[in-house]
Structure formats: structure tokens, C-alpha cells
Structure 1
């Protein structure tokens, strides 16, 4: 079993008497040592890959982590666990899932309370993640998130609470498994989308597309999207109202942007898909599709952005290719 640590709350401590101002300090080895009974269920190789707060992670760091995980299973690891901060865990998990091409489980976890806090949840979450990574039923499921004794698919999981120890939910679909009395039990058969080709190893020429995410709002006139379009980005994702809707003025900006680059629209609601054929007013899903934008389906905005980034990093910005991939991966 291989465990890679990236930092986050699970690895954070404080020098203050009241436990405030925590920062990532603990190594992977110290995280493992703090989990009672872990050594009895697995032989662990732990490595500190980074000591970063969750918001400081980025796509190149996540892809380096993925290459490390691939090397670990190629060297004989039965599975891999990655620990990191929870703020971006849903994004890291999905980016890893897009490129994870091994049958072995790749499981992410973290904590909502620091290592020094009363009732720290990091050790329990790490133990659940290891059990998940060792479970035969976890194979061929891609990247998973194990948190608070639940197991979620990377594609649907999201952090839905800023403080609760049960912060992660999969809106619309729920968790696919649970850890009960040390056993990981799944309620659905194993399935996964085909892995994308991993971009070339880190070099100065490694693709790193610029794909911003814009949330629309009451009275949005499209001027921010026009500015983004003119800044030289490679694509953009719009978090729209309801089933992916925007104002009439924003719709015109979407059309202008779609003439230059891929534009994807998703729903900002937190649950449910983008529409395809219900509304016909300017700014509706039918209108945006006619202007050349692509619907994200069931993918939430942050996942749609990662998918667009990954597709642009690994191939041409071909509209048909992008639409096909978003349709396939945005469908349950």
C-alpha cells in the first residue's frame, strides 16, 4: 500500500495555545503513525509529496501526484491513498480520475479538523481510505473519495459544507459505498469511463491550458466574459442559472466567445443537469447550444472545467470531440 501526502488540514498543526493558525507540517510518515491499527492491515510505504494548503494545489501538482501513484502500483502496491486538503479535494479527485488507467484503487481523503484538535477526524478517514484501497470491490472504479465512512465516485462528489466533518456529498446519486465494521461494501457494480491519455511528463512545453470558470449573476451583461475572451484564454466554463441559463446579454457574449474558443455551460445549482430542449428564450439552453456552446450535462461547473482543461491538454480543440466527451462523461 502506498500513501502520498500533499498537505492540507489532515497534516496541519499549530504553535498557538488555542490551536489557531494551523498550517501543514506533518509528514506522510507521521500521518501513518497516528492511525491505530493501520500496520495490522497493510504494509505501508508513505511519502510526503508536498506540504501545501488545499487552495495552493494546481493541475501540474496533481498530475505529478498521478505519475507517482502510477509508479507505486507498477512497483507492486495493491492500491494508493492520497491525503490532501478538503477545499480542492473534489477537483483533485476528478482530475486524477480522468487519467487513472490502472485497475488498482486510487483513493483520496483528508480531514476537517487538524491533527491536534479534539476529535480529529484525519486518522479515521485515513484508515477508511486504506481499507477502501485494499478492498477487492474497489478495483476498476477509478479514483474514489473516502470520507466519514462513505465512499464516493470522483465524478460526482463535492464538498458541501465548510466546517462539518461530514462535508462531502454526491448530489443526485449519493455515495456508492460505505465502510461498516472495517468492511467496505458497495451498492453498485464497478464502472468507470475510459482514461484519457496522460499529457507528456513535466517539461517547459507541457500543455497547461488556461480555462477560467465564470459564474453568472443577476444582471450579468457579459462584460466579464468579453474581457476573458480577449485575454487569450484557451476555453471557458460558465456556471449558469438553473439548467445552465444566462441573461440575453450574456448569451450574446457567449456567442462571441464561442467563435474563438470552446465555451461550456454548466448548472450552478449544485444538483441536476444542464437542459437540452426545454426553454427557447435568449440565454436558454437551446439558445446557447445554437450559439456554439456545449452543455456539461450532470457535471458541476468545477468538474466541467477540469474536463475541458484535460481535453485541451491532450488534444486539439475540436468542437465535435469536446462535445462527444462532455456528453459521455456528463451522463450518469
Structure 2
């Protein structure tokens, strides 16, 4: 019986990290394991798919950036064009939710692109990398994974890239989708989905635009008790191409911060999101200075249900592709909803 081809691209991270310290207590780990090494360590993988493994980078998770992720996207696109039924990207977990989201913004193929990693290194007791990689390959090889955009496979659960978040710093069950939960699970080797395929259309790169070249500067600012807008005004002076503000509750800020947002929104797109971890920004609940109604009146754009880090990636991508403020608002109106 023929089995599907799945391409595995490795970027580094804990799943690929080992220690040079020979000690029963372990030691500090760094990325050293190649994509081929990762695949070879998974029992039963050869029965699931014909694996083509390639090391794309050997980086710890915090060292990843948008250009590196988008080079992985181009590699994944080429792998599918070369006959792969699906693609798996392995990387560190610290930035996994952001990498998956960025990939999803531009992944325009029906074939599944699945991102995974590990919370425990291969040297650690109970290493979770092999199980996560096996689940990811099963997910990438499964026909029912098509037309779902980019997925995250972790701890036998399957999540949509735009909703998943790392919610624990050390647990092997660190990844959750706080808003709507996982869309599928892998049980006894079978990939099961509880919802039909439904995805937001990906962004389209205008002719001649190379994302990752001449990157826009789009910082994320989190508000806090007593915020007077000083940091935001300093960013405006330094020069930015857009800003996302993680606000209180449904996206609220102090009156002073609201004034700073209004001044900046006159020059560049400013998006406000909720820092709560779940739930959308408001549209018409409150009318005081710094409320969602006030911020919208000052020219800011609500992120909707998108978490601040995901909203920042979307604004970064839109800015990189030359979107106007009106286009930014239109895209957030669509992608900010379930």
C-alpha cells in the first residue's frame, strides 16, 4: 500500500536540543539534532509516511524572526510542489504560536502545514518530542487535514494556528486554544476532527513584494496601571510603521494613553487588543475616555478575538505588503472574528 510523502523541516528548539554535560542531573541544552535525527528517533514513523527531512536552521526559539519563518514557508511551498502531501515544521515552543500564525497568514495551499515542538529535550526523562512529531506527521498525512490552513499538533491535540497559545512555561500540555479549544485529536493513531474545514483566506503578496526584506517596525505595547502613554510617545518619536496596544479588559486604556494612541493613529495604523488571554475587544460597550468607543473614534482599530501577539503579526504582515489603513481595518474586521 502506498503511503503519503510528508516533508519535515527543522528549525531547532527544545525538540532538537541536547546537552554536552554527562551527568544524571542533566545539563544546559542547545539545538544540535538534525531533521534526519529527529525523524530517526520516532518509532513507527516509517509506517505512517515516506518522510523527507531537511534541517532549515538550528536556532533556539527566541532567536527566530519573521524572515526565518517566511523562508521556512517558501521551503514548505516547494516541498508540496515537489509532491509532498503535507509538511511539518519543528521548532522551539517559546515562539511557536507566533510562527504558526505567521505561516498561516500566507499559506495558500490546501495541503496541511503542521507545526510542532517539545517541552522536554530528547535527553530528558519522558521526552515528548517523538510523540509530538509522530502526531504532527499523522496530521500532515491525513486527507481530512486539507483546507484547514496551518495547524499545531501538540500533546495529541490539534489546534488552529490563529487561536493556539502557549499557556504554561514548563508543562508538556502547554498549548491550548483558550477561545474555542482544539479542533481535533489523535487517538490510537487516528486523526479526528470535531469541526469541518473552515479557514480565512490567506493574505496575497503583491507582485514584486518580498516579505522579510526591509522589515517594517511594528512593536507590541502592553498597558498597565497608571500608564501615561510615555512609552508609546517615545516609540512615535523613534519611528514606527504601526503599533499594537494590549489593553485592559476588552481593549481599554487610561485617558492619557488614549491621547497618545490618537496622536499616533493619525500617522500610522494602531490596533488595540485585549491582554486578558481570552475574549474579544469591545465595539460599543463603554464610552469613557480610553474605552473601545473612544479609541475607535480616535482612529484605532480593534483586534477583535485576536490575541495581542497574533494581532501584531497580522499588522506586521499587512504593513509589509503595503496595505493602506482602510485595508488594515477591513482585514482585521474579517480575521478578528471566529
Please indicate, yes or no, whether the TM-score normalized by the shorter chain is above 0.5.
yes
User: 1:201/1:73 Cα in 2 relative to 1: closer, same or farther (>3 Å)?
Assistant: farther
Q: Residue 63 of structure 2 corresponds to which residue in structure 1?
A: 56
User: 1:200/1:69 Cα in 2 relative to 1: closer, same or farther (>3 Å)?
Assistant: farther
1:275 matched to 2:282: yes
Question: Any residues of structure 2 matched to 1:235-254 within 5 Å, and which?
Answer: 235-254=242-261
Query: Counterparts of 1:11 and 1:326 in 2: how far apart (Å)?
Result: 35
Query: Counterparts of 2:118 and 2:212 in 1: how far apart (Å)?
Result: 35
Select the residue among 80, 85, 93 that pairs with 1:78: 85
Query: Counterparts of 2:329 and 2:211 in 1: how far apart (Å)?
Result: 29
Select the residue among 5, 12, 18 that pairs with 1:7: 12
> Relative to structure 2, which stretch is displaced further, 148-157 or 12-21?
12-21
Query: Counterparts of 2:29 and 2:77 in 1: how far apart (Å)?
Result: 31
CA contact (8 A) 2:262 2:295 kept: yes
CA shift for structure 1 position 251: 0.4
CA contact (8 A) 2:119 2:172 kept: yes
Query: Counterparts of 1:278 and 1:171 in 2: how far apart (Å)?
Result: 22
**TM-score normalised by length of structure 2:** 0.96
1:329 matched to 2:332: no
Pairwise CA RMSD: 1.4
Query: Counterparts of 1:272 and 1:112 in 2: how far apart (Å)?
Result: 27
Instruction: Tell me the secondary structure at the aligned position of residue 94 of structure 1.
Output: helix
Select the residue among 292, 299, 313 that pairs with 1:292: 299
CA shift for structure 1 position 207: 3.9
Query: Counterparts of 2:253 and 2:210 in 1: how far apart (Å)?
Result: 39
User: 1:149/1:204 Cα in 2 relative to 1: closer, same or farther (>3 Å)?
Assistant: closer
Query: Counterparts of 2:223 and 2:213 in 1: how far apart (Å)?
Result: 31
User: 1:270/1:59 Cα in 2 relative to 1: closer, same or farther (>3 Å)?
Assistant: same
**TM-score normalised by length of structure 1:** 0.98
Q: Residue 97 of structure 1 corresponds to which residue in structure 2?
A: 104
1:229 matched to 2:244: no
CA shift for structure 1 position 20: 2.1
Instruction: Tell me the secondary structure at the aligned position of residue 153 of structure 2.
Output: strand
Select the residue among 17, 21, 42 that pairs with 1:35: 42
Residues 26-62 of structure 1: per-residue CA shift (max 9 Å, x gap): 0000000000000111111100000000000000000
Alignment length (residue pairs): 331
CA shift for structure 1 position 21: 1.1
Query: Counterparts of 2:213 and 2:57 in 1: how far apart (Å)?
Result: 20
- Which ranges of structure 1 fall in alignment gaps of 5 or more residues? none
Residues 110-135 of structure 1: per-residue CA shift (max 9 Å, x gap): 00000110000000000000000011
CA shift for structure 1 position 200: 7.1
1:306 matched to 2:313: yes
1:22 matched to 2:39: no
Q: Residue 325 of structure 2 corresponds to which residue in structure 1?
A: 319
CA shift for structure 1 position 260: 1.1
Query: Counterparts of 1:199 and 1:43 in 2: how far apart (Å)?
Result: 35
CA contact (8 A) 1:200 1:206 kept: no
Query: Counterparts of 1:42 and 1:185 in 2: how far apart (Å)?
Result: 18
1:66 matched to 2:73: yes
User: 1:204/1:155 Cα in 2 relative to 1: closer, same or farther (>3 Å)?
Assistant: closer
Q: Residue 3 of structure 2 corresponds to which residue in structure 1?
A: none
Instruction: Tell me the secondary structure at the aligned position of residue 252 of structure 2.
Output: coil
Residues 189-232 of structure 1: per-residue CA shift (max 9 Å, x gap): 00111111247789799241110000000000001000001111
Q: Residue 215 of structure 2 corresponds to which residue in structure 1?
A: 208
- Which ranges of structure 2 fall in alignment gaps of 5 or more residues? 1-5
1:117 matched to 2:124: yes
Query: Counterparts of 1:181 and 1:97 in 2: how far apart (Å)?
Result: 28
